[in-house]
Every structure is written in C-alpha cells, then in structure tokens.
C-alpha cells in the first residue's frame, strides 16, 4: 500500500514538473492544480479517509515543488527584468493558493486528524516555501497600501491559527515557525525582506545557472551545457563568452 501511494505521488510530481518544462503560464498551472484537487476531493472524501489524505498530500507536494523553483527564479534588484519574469507566479495567485490550502486543512479536520505528518511536514514545508516567495516577490501589488497587504497577511495568519485550533496538541518546529512568520508579516509585510546586499546580488537559476544570452529555443537543446562554470567566468554578470 505504501509503495502504491509513493508511486502515485511520484507520478503526480512528475506531472507538475512536466507542466513547468513545457508551459510558461505558471498562474494557470497553479490554478489548474487547485481546481483538479477540488474535483478529486469530491470522490476521495466520500467515505475514503486514506484516499483524501493522499489527495491533500499530493497537492501540497506539487505546490511545494513549484514554489521551490519559483524561489530560484526570482531575480535580484540589480538584474534587468526580462522575458523570464513571465515564468514567475503572480503575487495574488501565490497568496490565494496559500489561503486555499490553509482553509482546506482547517475544514478537513475529520479526515486529516490522524495524519500528523501531513500538517507537521507537508503543510509546513509548503507554507515556508510559498511565504518566502511572497516576501521577496519583485512584483508585489504596487496598487495596494501597506495596510492592505497587512490585511491579506492577517487573513493567512488567522487561517493558520484556525488550523492550530482545529488540531490541538504539540506542533512541529516547522509549523511553529510558519506561525511566527505569518505573525511577523501580519505586523509588517516587509519585516522579512532580504538584506540590501542580498537583494542586489541574489543568485538565481536565471542569472547563474542559465546563460541569459541563450534564446528560448536554445533552452531545450544540448548547447545549454556549454555555459562555463561559475568559477571560470571573468565577471559575475552571468553572460557566456
């Protein structure tokens, strides 16, 4: 049974990575995963607790994989914003994904109560990854006042507190860290921003692991491997010579 579950999760993760490799509409990918979960849970939650638990775990693992990659593609402030920024999930969709997940876990107490690892590990790791993307996203909504952003983070903090209330008892260290992070962002949306130097020198997949001079067509061809190692470059610009 455990082998079957692991294989199913692996296949779902492989599907998420295939989406990321073939498509650039990252917002739509995230929304599709949330929509598919909404359909799957109708059947998984109809008397099959284990199936519903695995459906939730699959969603958390897929979203974490996406947000981990998102973190690696966020450019530093000194990097010219080019075409690759289109591969970043929007701030609004990222926030809504976090809200959706927290509400799902809070509402699913009856089916998820026995699965502590789901909350202490899968949920916590996804939250930390997504919250990090939200705090350093280069295109946070500029039309919102700091007060408005505080209110959005307040909703997330309130939803996480609801999860804590729905599942009394000891929590994992990671989940406690999540609560502290949302509390800080609730008080000040910029409280966890990167230090100034890191903001201007932040290495990313775009600037360091992929040469900016390569075209979109080149990204799917072997010449990508011709980019010289970092230690052999004359300048930290990330360009090929």
Contacts of 38 (CB under 8 A, 6+ apart): none
Q: For 163-178, b where at least 16 C-beta lie within 10 A, e where not — what string?
A: bbebbeeebbeebeeb
Q: Which two tokens stand for residue 142?
A: 């500029």
- Give residue-wise pLDDT tens across range 197-232: 555 565 555 454 444 334 334 444 444 333 444 344
Q: Which of 18-27, 70-79, 93-102 ranks highest by mean pLDDT?
A: 93-102
In degrees, rounded to 5, the angle at the alpha carbon of residue 107 between the alpha carbons of residues 105 and 111 is 75
Rounded Cα–Cα distance for residues 149 and 157 (Å): 12
Instruction: Round to the nearest angstrom and report the end-to-end CA distance of the chain.
Output: 52
Q: What is the pLDDT of residue 79?
A: 56
Q: pLDDT tens-digit profile of 18-44? A: 666 556 678 888 999 999 999 888 877
Question: What are the φ and ψ backbone dihedral angles of 193, each rounded to 5 degrees?
Answer: -65, 155
**Cα dihedral 113, 115, 120, 121 sign:** negative
Looking at residues 47-63, what average pLDDT do you find?
Answer: 89
DSSP string, 9-23: HHHHHHHHHHHHHH-
Closest to 54 measured CA to CA, from 104, 115, 97: 115
pLDDT digits (tens, 9 = 90+) for 129-150: 999 888 887 666 655 666 778 8
What tokens were used for 68?
A: 């981990």
Give the tokens for residue 168.
């009394």
Q: Which residue is associated with the tokens 């693992």?
A: 61
């Amino acid at each position: 049974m455990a082998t079957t579950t692991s294989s199913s999760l692996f296949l779902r993760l492989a599907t998420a990575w295939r989406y990321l490799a073939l498509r650039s509409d990252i917002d739509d990918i995230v929304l599709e995963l949330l929509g598919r979960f909404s359909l799957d849970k109708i059947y998984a939650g109809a008397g099959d607790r284990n199936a519903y638990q695995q459906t939730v775990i699959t969603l958390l693992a897929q979203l974490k994989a996406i947000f981990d990659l998102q973190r690696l593609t966020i450019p530093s402030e000194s990097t010219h914003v080019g075409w690759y920024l289109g591969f970043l999930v929007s701030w609004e969709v990222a926030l809504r994904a976090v809200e959706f997940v927290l509400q799902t876990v809070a509402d699913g107490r009856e089916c998820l109560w026995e699965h502590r690892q789901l909350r202490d590990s899968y949920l916590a790791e996804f939250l930390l990854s997504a919250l990090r993307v939200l705090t350093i996203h280069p295109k946070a909504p500029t039309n919102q006042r700091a007060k408005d952003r505080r209110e959005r983070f307040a909703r997330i903090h309130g939803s996480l507190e609801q999860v804590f209330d729905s599942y009394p008892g000891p929590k994992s260290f990671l989940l406690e860290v999540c609560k502290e992070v949302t509390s800080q962002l609730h008080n000040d949306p910029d409280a966890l921003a990167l230090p100034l130097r890191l903001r201007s020198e932040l290495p990313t997949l775009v600037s360091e692991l992929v040469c900016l001079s390569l075209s979109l067509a080149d990204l799917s061809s072997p010449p990508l491997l011709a980019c010289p190692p970092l230690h052999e470059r004359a300048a930290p610009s990330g360009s090929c010579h």
